[in-house]
Copies of this chain bind each other. A is one copy, B any other.
């Protein structure tokens, strides 16, 4: 060993010991005949004191930042203690030292608030990784990894590794493929997830499986999406939905406790997909704050009387409200005094193409009990009060109203809600709110292909009550515009998502385990019998030999870590991430390969030569 102790280890009790440390030079501070050097390693920082004799040598060596240094000396108490540092009570009076390696000047400072831009830090990722900020992220990631493993181990789960070189069965996202040299003209695919393997393991009787495993999706990268990502992947046999929810609620709470010291004792709220969409406009609601959405065209009960659909907004001669398919409102707490300028800015915000609304209506619920709206011409004070009350507004609140087509308006008001929640400080970094979203639709409609696609994946079971609907109806969509009235649109899945602070961190389902139902599912997705057999024959076959009821879940490990670390970006929690073009700029990958390699693999590039 080049050291007797680490740079985070020595304390007052070590006074007088002769020690050897090794690490990186963080700072050099010269004061006449003495020099202080802060020496850094993974475990901390220790101050080295170069006194007479030593100091002169130092000058010759012109030691500077990021040099690798080994120093031997005696632990002594500091004159000026530094309570900020764990080793701040002591310093090493250096008697001997050796420069183990030199460093040229780094292209950016190795500090929390570095002067390095994103591109530079990615190119020199090995230097970026030295920053305490990034190190803390990777340490947190390891703590989550360890904590998840321990919980799963204690609950009889067994880690079983599944293959990476598998078969291409694109369904949804694109596969990355790997040409096979030994089987010319054929390709492996990299797994988008170990889905079918974990189901086979249940058929094989392994009962409880887990893996923290890399997955691959060749999608066009949006910001903060990586072509390779990590999942905590789990599957259980002989379970119903309730068992899975309890087991993994337990896991996440255990991670919170061990990694963040947060005792998350309350039960996770559960909300149906339907309700989430109407109350939050989103299937991954952030419930750290209220501002629930009111559907102004819905029917509701008030003081025992039924208010009919649309009665709140129709028949006042306001064309926009009259004609809109959907009108949604949120009450923004304490914002009744927003100025014209602030309201205009919000209106511009919702008119941006990303949001795509025509305009924004509002009602100011003044603290004096009066109301002022952007549509006073059509609505009397009582009308406004009724709307405000339905939107659950208090005096001093600002009711914001969006009108338009249902789907877009829901999305828009959800975005507006999140934006205002952010601006008003309701989305606190260190507050964590988990919930389950349940009862997702089994199918989604693909306009492009005029067919059903699986919302989760083709292995998700329908709710037991809905199996009949699936079996008894023809999946064919005769009238594309009317797909919502097809019986398949009503089928709910035995699927669940765990949501944390507005992010889906995990999702799963109870699986189909009967061959005939799985075949029906493939048919429903427009797959021919031949195609289904070619792609998933092994799974259909497995279901004939005694497949148990089973279900599972997968957590997005990168995302989970980033939220626990209080960051928006998963890249900060991946040691060697790729940029938005799927490139590793440090390695300069992907890159061209030798013609010899191409030839051996029996492939040719059809890309234009550059």
Contacts and interface: CB of A to CB of B under 8 A. Distances in A.
Interface string A184-221: 11111110000001001101111110000010101011
Chain A residues touching B, majority SS: loop
A361 interface: no
Contacts of A345: none
Contacts of A220: 182
A183 B161 CA distance: 30
A600 B207 contact: no
Nearest to A146: B153
A174 B593 CA distance: 12
A21 B393 CA distance: 54
Please give the count of copies of this chain that the complex contains.
Answer: 2
Nearest to A184: B607
A568 to B, nearest CB: 20
B576 A163 contact: yes
Given A2-B549, A161-B575, A587-B167, A607 B602 contact: yes
A129 interface: yes
Interface stretch (A100-108, A257-265, A266-274, A283-291): A100-108
Contacts of A214: 161, 164, 214
A193 to B, nearest CB: 14
Output the residue of A145, A181, A187, A513 with the most chain B CB within 10 A. Answer: A187
Interface stretch (A235-243, A328-336, A347-355, A497-505): A235-243
Interface in A223-242: 227-228, 230, 238-240
Given A165-B228, A576-B163, A593 B187 contact: yes
Contact of A149 (B106, B149, B590, B609): B149
A130 interface: yes
A394 interface: no
A191 to B, nearest CB: 11
A165 B207 contact: no
A231 to B, nearest CB: 12
In order of increasing CB-CB distance, the 6 nearest A-B pairs are: A185-B607, A167-B589, A103-B546, A129-B204, A184-B607, A186-B590
9 contacts: A66-B546, A129-B200, A138-B160, A146-B153, A163-B576, A164-B164, A176-B178, A186-B590, A538-B586
Interface of A: 1-3, 6, 22-25, 40-43, 66-68, 100-104, 106, 124-127, 129-130, 135, 138-139, 141-142, 145-146, 149, 153, 158-168, 170, 174-190, 197, 200-201, 203-208, 214, 216, 218, 220-221, 227-228, 230, 238-240, 243, 513-514, 537-538, 541-549, 574-576, 578, 581-584, 586-594, 597, 599-610
Given A101-B547, A183-B590, A197-B576, 14 more contacts: A2-B238, A68-B546, A101-B513, A142-B160, A160-B575, A164-B164, A165-B176, A165-B590, A166-B589, A178-B590, A182-B220, A182-B581, A187-B590, A200-B576
